[in-house]
Chain A
Amino acid sequence: MDRPLMWGQRLRSAGSAVLELPFAYAGLLILLFTSYLVRPALLSPLLLLLIVRQAAPLGIAVIGQSLCMRVLSLDLSIGGVIVGVSYILTSGLLPLSEPVLLLICLVFGASVGLINAFFITRLRASSVIVTLAMTMIISGVAISFSQLRSPGDAPALLRQIGQLRIGVFPVALLVWLSLLVPAAIFLRVSVFGRYVDAIGANPQAAWVSGIPYVRVVTIVHVLSSLFAVFSGFLLIGFVGVGSMDLGRDLALNSLAAVILGGVTFGSGKGGVLGPTVAALMLTFSFNLLTSLGLGEPAKLMLQGAIIGLAAAAYSARRQS
């Protein structure tokens, strides 16, 4: 029983486990440290909670996006869905009560997901192209409608969700958690989660061995669009009005967060926690950049750099 050797081995395996963690964890720590150095004001608990609240829409969208990536698909129609939801809820085009409108938004989201899934599973089209095309269609239609009948105020219920707190915790955060935790548990224990793993590992084999490929991928896309609807609800609640500019960069941000969080095409190694931490990290970084005076261009450059470098780093890691 060589004690030092055993401890050495344990440390080594713990060390490599830490190194195996998705970049999001390290990234968040680096950011917090940098903020401590240059903008310590950002680290006040009140502000941090606000940032967490701000991250909620991204965090919710990330759940759906990570699911999509695990079945070798992408959902870039998140932005379109949010624009559509924004218009439905605030334009008054449909003079119905708030709860009914919210329900209609969910149905709308589910339909978008179904259409996406149809093209991707039945026609075997590229998910990027299909979802981008859907965004073009929905945004195009919604914005052209908005020229005739402009969007208005957000429904009262959403504004409350967006701004209220329970104790110190923003309600938005609770909404996020109430979607995140059940999703994570469900994926881990259910048959559905296993099927998702299988399809990601080898979609052809999954198809041939009788796994209900079409059903699983359809559910994934419908869920992703539904999560996008919830993101939209929160965003509209934050802003207070139905803006046609909402959620524009949510699709790309969710992609960046998912990749940073360790989930790549076909593999779900990061689980749901990695992308969630990455969502927090990205939101924090945007705030840091803004507080340093750098605006939209810097955000875009950061997003692009993160996606590219993280994807490259993960590929390099997988090859070694």
Chain B
Amino acid sequence: MLNRLRKTGRSGMKATTLALPLALFLVVGFLSTSFLSFQNLANINSQIAGLLIVSLGQMIVAISGGIDLSVGSVMSLTSAMLVTLDPQLAIPAVLAAGVAVGLINGFGVTLFNVHPLVMSLATMTFLQGLALLIHPVPGGLVPEYLRTLAVSQVGGIPCAFFWCVTALAVTAAMLNLTRFGLRIFAIGANPMSAARNGVSVTLHRIACYVLCSISAVLAGIFLTARVAGGDATIGASYTLDSVTAIALGGVQLAGGAGSVAGVVAGVLTLGFMTNGMNLVGISPFLRTAATGCLLLLAIGLQRRKVIGA
């Protein structure tokens, strides 16, 4: 951590963090002429908006020293609920569900001392089942006002852009300007020291899981509106994608370091790669394999001192 801290504070970013999306940008731009068109770039923006929002949530949990593997299932559940519930109730209901899931994850990790990986794996499985129960077959009708929120354009710029900017601004403000932001960095580095200084570790950790689930709900709302239908497996790939994105962005999975800029870089890397593979015509299954390789690369670059899960 030492050299990294000297250069960029607690962001965890290194030269590779920024070099990778840049390199991909250049390579794909070279390989495909349509890559650099405004239309395609706007497409990329819309494609990564969901991932960006959920990755920001994942970053918050990671900085505090945890991980949330249930984000994909929360997105799926959101999608299922949006098309099956009364449009008046839909938004409050999914938000409430997000808070509930966050609380369950948080309580499990703090009060019951279950390892975050195991706990969020459990909720992930349960919620995926619940989503399929509510909405077994993809389809359904998305409320009109939601559609406009996700798909319309303002001055030629797609809505997705504004979703992204808002999410980034809010998260960056929270992380750098509030007491909460400072304290979760402290908790991630050393929870016992933080507790000795009067920081309530339990409450903060639970809050991080709640914020992460809410971000997954928001991403789910956006995606469902964009796809214009409910799909109970829509979030499946987003779990590992969000972990890959934050790891590529320099966020330490062990806690204590991370930044919004890094997450953007990580998400862009994944976005460029996916878009590039589509344009060049590579099978989507190979995209999964490529993401797996990127994940291994990102993990391999993070050196942990601790041996263990």
Residues of A within 8 A of B (CB): 72-74, 119, 121, 123-130, 132-141, 143-144, 147, 203-204, 207, 213, 252, 255, 259, 265, 296-308, 311-312, 315-316, 319
Q: How far is the CB of A314 from chain B (nearest CB, A)?
A: 9
Instruction: Spot the interface stretch: B10-18, B186-194, B196-204, B289-297.
Output: B289-297
Query: Which of B130, B243, B289 makes the CB contact (< 8 A) with A297?
Result: B130
Residues of B within 8 A of A (CB): 69, 108, 112-115, 117-119, 121-133, 136, 240, 243, 247, 253, 283, 285-293, 295-296, 299-300, 302-309
Q: A136-B288, A136-B292, A259-B118 are in contact. Are A305 and B133 (CB under 8 A)?
A: no
Q: Are B114 and A119 in contact (CB under 8 A)?
A: no
CB-CB < 8 A to B113: which residues of A? 315, 319
Q: Are B125 and A304 in contact (CB under 8 A)?
A: yes
CB-CB < 8 A to B308: which residues of A? 72-73, 203, 265
Query: Which of A147, A265, A303, A311 makes the CB contact (< 8 A) with B285?
Result: A147
CB-CB < 8 A to B304: which residues of A? 124-126
Q: Are A305 and B122 in contact (CB under 8 A)?
A: yes
CB-CB < 8 A to A135: which residues of B? 292
Q: A307-B122, A311-B114 are in contact. Are A136 and B289 (CB under 8 A)?
A: yes
CB-CB < 8 A to A296: which residues of B? 129, 132
The main secondary structure of chain B at its interface with chain A is: helix
Can you list 20 A-B pairs with a CB-CB distance of less than 8 A? A74-B309, A128-B121, A128-B309, A132-B295, A133-B240, A134-B296, A137-B288, A139-B288, A139-B289, A140-B285, A147-B285, A252-B121, A301-B126, A301-B130, A303-B125, A304-B123, A304-B125, A308-B114, A311-B112, A311-B115
Chain A minimum-CB-distance residue to B70: A304
CB-CB < 8 A to B129: which residues of A? 296-304
Q: Are B112 and A315 in contact (CB under 8 A)?
A: yes
Q: Are A129 and B125 in contact (CB under 8 A)?
A: no
Q: How far is the CB of B240 from chain A (nearest CB, A)?
A: 6
CB-CB < 8 A to B114: which residues of A? 308, 311-312, 315
Q: How far is the CB of B212 from chain A (nearest CB, A)?
A: 17
Q: How far is the CB of B91 from chain A (nearest CB, A)?
A: 24
CB-CB < 8 A to A311: which residues of B? 108, 112, 114-115, 118-119, 122
A31 vs B113: C-alpha distance in the bound complex, in angstroms?
A: 28
Q: How far is the CB of A88 from chain B (nearest CB, A)?
A: 16
Q: Are B285 and A133 in contact (CB under 8 A)?
A: no
Q: Which of B117, B131, B132, B292 has the most CB of A within 10 A?
A: B292
A113 vs B305: C-alpha distance in the bound complex, in angstroms?
A: 22
A255 vs B124: C-alpha distance in the bound complex, in angstroms?
A: 14
Q: How far is the CB of B277 from chain A (nearest CB, A)?
A: 11
Q: Are A308 and B126 in contact (CB under 8 A)?
A: yes
Q: Which of B121, B132, B247 has the most CB of A within 10 A?
A: B121
Q: Are B299 and A300 in contact (CB under 8 A)?
A: no
